[in-house]
Chain A
Amino acid sequence: MKKIIVNIACLLGIIVAMSSCKKNDYFVGGDLHNPKINMTTYDWMKSNKYGVFDTVLMLIDKAGVKDKINAQGVTFFAPTDYDVYNYVQARTRQVQKVDPKKMWTVDSIMKYELGRFADSIDMYITKEQLTNDKLTASGKKYKNNKGGNFIISFEETRDPALGYNENSTVIPRVVLFTYLYQAIGDVFDVKSIVPPVGSRTLVQTSNAQTTTGVVHVLSNSHVLFYYR
């Protein structure tokens, strides 16, 4: 009897030892996440399970600029519905300075501003595949399709809300999209750029590589087209 128990214990031990070996990948870290997505940029945005792009995509459809974001080999900095909301809020505040009863809504954009929308969406598109492995901490300047400049950088953050922990030596990194209102030279300190020189927006989801290009999703606190 004793022998059997010992044998069973041994067997169990071996099984445990073997099974714990298997998932080593999980313990060493590494990148199991696959940034490649087998869809076009437009379809990927449409497939978002929370629907955070549906208003943006509706505007894109109405303005007829689907081809712009689905063009081959571009990078698209995608605004979300929240950014559109921030825009109509800011726009409403502006029109209410003249007439307190007026509102500016998504319908107003569709009625009066589709041309402007079609034109301005170019500020979020560049003809280069900016995947995260090409980005640096100090940032590099690129031209957007509208002819203006922006800087994209991959910076360390010490914000606990973004995953920083004092007890860890690994410092999380985030992508920042710095839109430039003013022309600046080639030597710059991207961290210290503030309006009126430029505006720095956090990228909340970066490095999505679709079949047509790269998508970086902008933060929900961004105001569409940097409306002021």
Chain B
Amino acid sequence: MILFNSSCSKYLDLKPENSTYDEVFWKDGENVNRATLGAYALLRNSLRADRSYFIFGDIASGIVRQADEDWNMDQFARSGGYKFSYAPYLEGSLWNWTRFYGIINQCNLIVEQAEAMDIKLFDGGEDEKKGYIANARFLRAYTYFYMQRVWGDVLLVKETFKDPQNIPDMTRTPEKETLAFCKEDLLYAIANLQQNPTKSFASKGAANALMAEVCAWEHDYINAEKYANETLKFGYALEDVKDYRKIWKGNSKESIFELNMLYSESGNEFTEDFFSRFLSSASIPGKGSGSVWDIEPEFLETEFDKPEARLDSMSMPFPDNAALKTIRKYDDIVEYREGKYAVSNNLVLIRLADIILLRAEAYYKNGKTTLALNDLNTIRKRAGLEEIQVSGAELFKEIFRERRRELIGEGVIQFDLIRMNMFEQLDEYSAYYSADRIANKGYYWPLDMRNLLPQNELLTQNPWWKNH
């Protein structure tokens, strides 16, 4: 009896033991730093889920071809005429944006809690505090902008929910309002971020570059030009074509913002099967040929019709077929256990060549065609192509075609297609994108209404996918 009595009090914990909560967590700068790292990890996992980053950018734009065994991608890839409404087993990642709200919530939490903390709690004082907030606001802007580009109008949640039991239903926010919110965040980030040497964290340069992208998306090319020019002041430089693949090995001089996925013995940022989809058995011994994504053969034949050093550097022929080529931008392999191969590359989200081509686009729209042509030829020269002389609408088209050659396998081309409105200009898209489909924004992905609607009864489907 005595034994029982004495042991009892120890079971009555007054505080949760193995999880943290607001009052004890937000007490010093070190913990805010941990929360920020957590936000980066959430972004990394969200983009990687089911390789959705590459599906949204590359498979959906028809320049990368799905593997033989990806039967469930046949419909939404080029082979099925970009029918995004059929994605068996991939609904959870391609139609559902819930994972991105995890990032938004984390960022909202950091912004609010860090804001309320006293400066004395941070070793680095005011600068450190603002740095964390700026990081969170940069990530929040990146996330909302990304969601906007994938699914169209989002549900703009600007702060954490005080009462998680009663979250009010809300309608989708117009693009203008979302992007205005992003730009507000980015202005804060530009003012308060440092220009740090590690590219895997937000920096002044990255915030400027993202700002340029947001402005271009709104077709505000005056500001796009301005922020692209700002970005270029931070000393980024193009890698030589000989070292082209250095860009994805981490902290290259060309990278502006990237996510760390390098292999380390203790870390778990790397994966075996995210980048490896691009690689054949020539890179990963024993890999099956049915699980390899390659450059869409027709695209390869028509767009890479002239020999170029860039293609030689970033691609490799199939082991059993010289006519097919795989992308080897991410092929730094580490055999970390017998027969287990990690791909030790970073996912570069923004890089200099991207911004230079974006500036060319802005110059063109602002009537500065000579400067636009200069920027285009800078990228062509690095790729080992001769300079070209084009003008008018042809120049704009050529900028887009150069973007496809330069940025293939980097998850962005579908968004370029939408922004530059190239669906009607090129045969490979015009057959599938009718005027009706473009008018009803059929270039965005549908939402998984079966799962999302019960959580928010005011949510609406993207118009084209209501009946297609």
Residues of A within 8 A of B (CB): 90, 155-162, 164, 171, 191-196, 199-202, 219, 221-223, 228
Contacts and interface: CB of A to CB of B under 8 A. Distances in A.
Nearest to A197: B317
23 contacts: A90-B323, A155-B286, A158-B288, A159-B287, A159-B290, A160-B288, A161-B69, A161-B290, A192-B283, A194-B280, A194-B282, A194-B317, A194-B318, A195-B318, A199-B319, A199-B321, A200-B281, A201-B320, A219-B320, A221-B289, A222-B320, A223-B321, A228-B323
Given A159-B291, A160-B288, A161-B288, A194 B339 contact: no
Contacts of B317: 194-196
Given A158-B287, A194-B318, A195-B322, 14 more contacts: A155-B286, A157-B288, A159-B287, A159-B289, A160-B288, A162-B288, A171-B286, A192-B283, A194-B282, A194-B316, A195-B318, A199-B320, A202-B320, A222-B320
Interface of B: 69, 280-283, 285-291, 316-323, 339
A163 to B, nearest CB: 10
Given A171-B339, A228-B323, A155 B318 contact: no
A158 B319 contact: no
Main secondary structure of the interface of B (DSSP, over half): loop
A171 B338 CA distance: 12
Contacts of A192: 282-283
B282 A191 contact: yes
A164 to B, nearest CB: 8
Contact of B339 (A158, A200, A219): A158
A199 B321 CA distance: 7
B320 A156 contact: no
Contact of B322 (A159, A162, A199, A221): A199
Contacts of A160: 288
Given A171-B339, A191-B281, A159 B319 contact: no
Nearest to B290: A161
A160 B282 CA distance: 17
B288 A159 contact: yes
B301 to A, nearest CB: 10
A228 to B, nearest CB: 5
Contacts of A191: 281-282, 285
B77 to A, nearest CB: 20
Closest 4 A/B residue pairs (Cβ)? A159-B288, A195-B322, A158-B286, A200-B319
B68 to A, nearest CB: 9
Contacts of A164: 286
Contacts of B323: 90, 228
A192 B289 CA distance: 14
Nearest to A223: B321
Contacts of B322: 195-196, 199, 228
Nearest to B340: A158
B340 to A, nearest CB: 9
Contacts of B321: 195, 199, 221, 223
A86 to B, nearest CB: 9
Contacts of A202: 289, 320
A206 to B, nearest CB: 16
Given A156-B286, A159-B286, A171-B339, A193 B319 contact: yes
Contacts of A228: 322-323
Contacts of A194: 280, 282, 316-319
User: Which residue of B288, B317, B318, B319 has the most chain A CB atoms within 10 A of its CB atom?
Assistant: B319
A196 B281 CA distance: 16
Contacts of B282: 191-194
Nearest to A86: B321
A200 B324 CA distance: 13
Nearest to B282: A194
Nearest to A198: B319
Nearest to B317: A195
Contacts of A223: 321
A82 B32 CA distance: 61
A221 B320 contact: yes
Nearest to B316: A194
Contacts of B318: 194-195
A171 to B, nearest CB: 7
A195 B442 CA distance: 40
A193 B282 CA distance: 7
User: Which residue of A155, A162, A195 has the most chain B CB atoms within 10 A of its CB atom?
Assistant: A195
Nearest to B341: A158
Nearest to B69: A161
Contacts of B290: 159, 161
A167 to B, nearest CB: 14
Contacts of A193: 282, 319
Nearest to A199: B320
A171 B286 CA distance: 10
Contacts of B283: 192
Nearest to B280: A194
A219 B68 CA distance: 15
A194 B280 CA distance: 10
Contacts of B288: 157-162
Contacts of A196: 317, 322
A200 B316 CA distance: 14
User: Which residue of A157, A159, A202, A228 has the most chain B CB atoms within 10 A of its CB atom?
Assistant: A159
A191 B322 CA distance: 16
Nearest to B284: A158
B318 to A, nearest CB: 7
Contacts of A221: 289, 320-321
A213 B287 CA distance: 31
A228 B320 CA distance: 11
Contacts of B69: 161
A82 to B, nearest CB: 13
Nearest to B319: A200
